A = this chain, B = another copy of it.
């Protein structure tokens, strides 16, 4: 039986919850397209987050790994295209560390592309009437750090991997005037669709999803 690892983050920047974990934890032990989903919470800490992810990968040997993070203020589900080899923290992580312009892997390449069918996932989610888009940057904080580390490992050991950012939940947006949000069940549904497309679509679709700048 195939195993899928879904990882998401603990709260950060003073929030009480992290939308990504609220959603991903609902998928724990679910069967999707014949695969067994295991959910794992990651600390929002450089280094440690990757260690927890690597330990879970050692244990589960998943064929597919999707990491989910919270993108404060974004109104839609965004599927990340690429991770870059740099830690550059605008704010301290949950352990108080704030690396500036440090390589994630000292001799690693500048970037890895996600190995998910990102256009097919965006199209599938949108066809379910849930706003979604490709994102051209996962930032330079812990989200990008984990995605780069994941793709670096999979480049050597095989397996598919990627990252999906989700909006604030409504109860978070209430405390951030003017911020967009998405209800938990909508996010869960979008992640289920992403999983099932990632498990069944071999080659990505040629669909528009670029940015002029």
Contacts and interface: CB of A to CB of B under 8 A. Distances in A.
B138 A75 contact: no
A84 B86 contact: no
> How many protomers of this protein does the assembly include?
4
A100 interface: yes
A116 to B, nearest CB: 13
Contacts of A126: 174
B213 A74 contact: yes
A105 B113 CA distance: 14
Interface in A79-95: 81-82, 84, 86-91
Interface string A131-143: 1111011111101
A130 interface: yes
Interface in A107-148: 109-113, 119, 126, 129-134, 136-141, 143
Interface residues of A, number: 61
A179 B26 CA distance: 27
A86 B131 CA distance: 24
13 contacts: A13-B212, A72-B212, A74-B213, A90-B208, A90-B209, A100-B206, A110-B112, A129-B169, A130-B174, A131-B170, A139-B210, A139-B211, A140-B210
Given A100-B206, A101-B206, A139-B213, 9 more contacts: A72-B212, A82-B84, A90-B211, A110-B111, A129-B169, A129-B171, A139-B210, A139-B211, A140-B211
Interface of A: 13, 69, 71-72, 74-76, 81-82, 84, 86-91, 98, 100-101, 109-113, 119, 126, 129-134, 136-141, 143, 165, 169-171, 173-174, 177-181, 183, 186, 204, 206-213
* Nearest 4 A/B pairs, CB to CB: A88-B210, A111-B111, A140-B210, A75-B180
